[in-house]
A and B are shown apart, each in its own frame.
Chain A
Amino acid sequence: MSLNQNILVKLKQAGLRINNKWLVKDVSLQIEKGKIVTLIGPNGSGKSTTAKIALGIYKKINGEAKKYTNKVGYVPQKISIDWTLPLRVSDFMVLTENLKEEAINDALSLTGVIHLKDKNLGDLSGGEFQRVLLARAISKKPELLVLDEPVQGVDFTGEIALYELIKKISDELNCGILLISHDLHTVMSATDHVVCLNGHVCCSGSPIEVAKNNEYKALFGEQASQILSRYEHRHDHIHTNEGKIKKN
């Protein structure tokens, strides 16, 4: 048991070494209920590996990784599904847990893909599939959500809507979220705690603290550090079906 009931995951100097090469080293972080922790960092900096360590996917790790919940929703960065399997969206939704029809419909509606429910998973576009992945992860009302670039391939407006949805879910379900994102705007606007990785933790703290950090500036450049929490969403129209635009 954790001393603090709110802690869902705790990494203590966790790392992973495969074939004498460190994928990631000395990562300490904790995820609490209702909080969003975001991992940022360049390609190959160990973001996905850290997420998988937190999820307990790797058996032999260095350091410590403790997961205090089994109610987990996971959106992996890459997922290859073998099409020898006949799998509809509705089958995929109940992959790891049996859900009521209502819960399935609610989740699919939230991510905007309820109309794809009876479609074969292999027939979806990249963005559609990403929305289904997110719907599946949230449908089981998890205590811990691990989202590895959850909006990749989703169109721009959809991206913003989905990030808003993630924020909303975190508040409503009071679940802890580990988010991996390339979009610094989002990171800065919706996150409680940022961990900047580059093979190890190069800095961490609140978004503003990280943005001011010199190591962060060195890693992402001066420009990125100017993206502070003043993320404003300017959008004077909404998109309706078939690419039509409606002015507000």
Chain B
Amino acid sequence: MLDDFFIRALIAGLGIAIVTGPLGCFVIWRRLSYFGDTLAHSALLGVTLAYTLEFNIAISVFIISSLIALILIDLQKRTNLPGDALLGLLAHSSLAVGLVVIGFLTFIRFDIMGLLFGDILAVTTDDIFIIWIGGPLILIILKLIWKPLFASTVNYELAEAEGLNPDRAKAIFTILMAGIIAISIKMVGLLLITGMLIIPAAMARNISSSPQMMVIYSVIGGLLSVILGLLTSLEFNTASGPSIIAAALFLFILSLLKIKQSIKLKN
């Protein structure tokens, strides 16, 4: 019979995949992969803070990531630096500050590898609780802002002109990104969360012809990646995050075969 920790990891992982699927599509459509990275890197600071103040990790990460997102928006308005430079600046400086703070916290033993790459053994029932409350909440909010967010992704001016308030949708979406990073950091690890967002969605893009289809395939791809990845992790004793991402990559490569076929059919 499967071990108890494995069942916990599976339940947590599946809960995450359902949420990263649709969010990941928007990350690809809106070209936000580096933004995702930046939020994830800043999460380390959130984790250290949680340990210092003996606070819940997910909530602390959520607060810090949202804060970094706000700082980014502010810097974009205030400076003339290009967006990718600002993202790099925030990503690496928050990562660095996080690591420096860890250096000071000599009284706590940190599993750095677990933080960076995820640790299925660390998933507790509390984490499952947070994932299955937070995840559906993120999805419901995404569903509510879907129309303005999607319309402004296609064309900002069209959405604005026809009264959809795209700025508000964008701000809410940023908070949702901080939310998914907060609930998935333990499972996937902060270096690989963006992969979990992008790779299943990229796989889905290869085989879909409509946005709805892409979202559905992206969720399915994420779920399969979690199942495959965790089974590999259990079998070969590899870290959970990298195993899940490797499984997602495997699915992505399979989806390329489908593209080849359809190009052949076209010619």
Type the 1/0 row for B22-45, where 1 means its CB is closer than 8 Å to any CB of A: 000000110100000000000000
Q: Does B100 contact A (CB under 8 A)?
A: no
Residues on B lying within 8 angstroms of A by beta carbon are: 28-29, 31, 147, 150-151, 153-155, 157-164, 205, 208-214
Q: Does A18 contact B (CB under 8 A)?
A: no
* Cα–Cα distance between A49 and B213 once the two chains are bound (Å): 36
Q: Does A87 contact B (CB under 8 A)?
A: yes
What is the count of residue pairs linking A and B with beta-carbon distances less than 8 angstroms?
72
In the complex the two chains form, is A57's CB within 8 Å of B210's CB?
Answer: no
In the complex the two chains form, is A56's CB within 8 Å of B161's CB?
Answer: yes
Which residue in chain B gives the minimum CB-CB distance to A73?
B162
Interface residue range, chain A: 20 to 34
> Which one of A70, A74, A81, A96 has the highest number of Cβ atoms from chain B below 10 Å of its Cβ?
A96
Q: Does A146 contact B (CB under 8 A)?
A: yes
Complex interface: chain B residues within 8 A of A73 (CB): 162
Complex interface: chain B residues within 8 A of A85 (CB): 29, 153-154, 211
Which residue in chain A gives the minimum CB-CB distance to B167?
A59
Which residue in chain A gives the minimum CB-CB distance to B164?
A96
B154: contacting residue among A81, A98, A120, A146, CB under 8 A: A81
Q: Does A218 contact B (CB under 8 A)?
A: no
In the complex the two chains form, is A88's CB within 8 Å of B209's CB?
Answer: yes
* Cα–Cα distance between A87 and B164 once the two chains are bound (Å): 19
Complex interface: chain A residues within 8 A of B147 (CB): 96, 98
Complex interface: chain A residues within 8 A of B162 (CB): 70, 72-74, 96-97
Minimum distance in angstroms from A118 CB to a CB of chain B: 9
Complex interface: chain B residues within 8 A of A120 (CB): 209
Complex interface: chain B residues within 8 A of A146 (CB): 161
Which residue in chain A gives the minimum CB-CB distance to B158?
A74
Q: Does A95 contact B (CB under 8 A)?
A: yes
Known: A76-B157, A91-B210, A95-B151. A84 touches B29 (CB 8 A): yes
Q: Does A243 contact B (CB under 8 A)?
A: no
Complex interface: chain B residues within 8 A of A52 (CB): 157, 161
Known: A76-B155, A91-B210, A95-B154. A84 touches B161 (CB 8 A): no
CB proximity to B under 8 Å, residues A53-97: 55-57, 70, 72-74, 76, 79-82, 84-88, 91-92, 95-97
Give the 3 A-B CB pairs with smallest separation, nearest first: A55-B161, A70-B163, A74-B161
A87: contacting residue among B31, B154, B158, CB under 8 A: B154
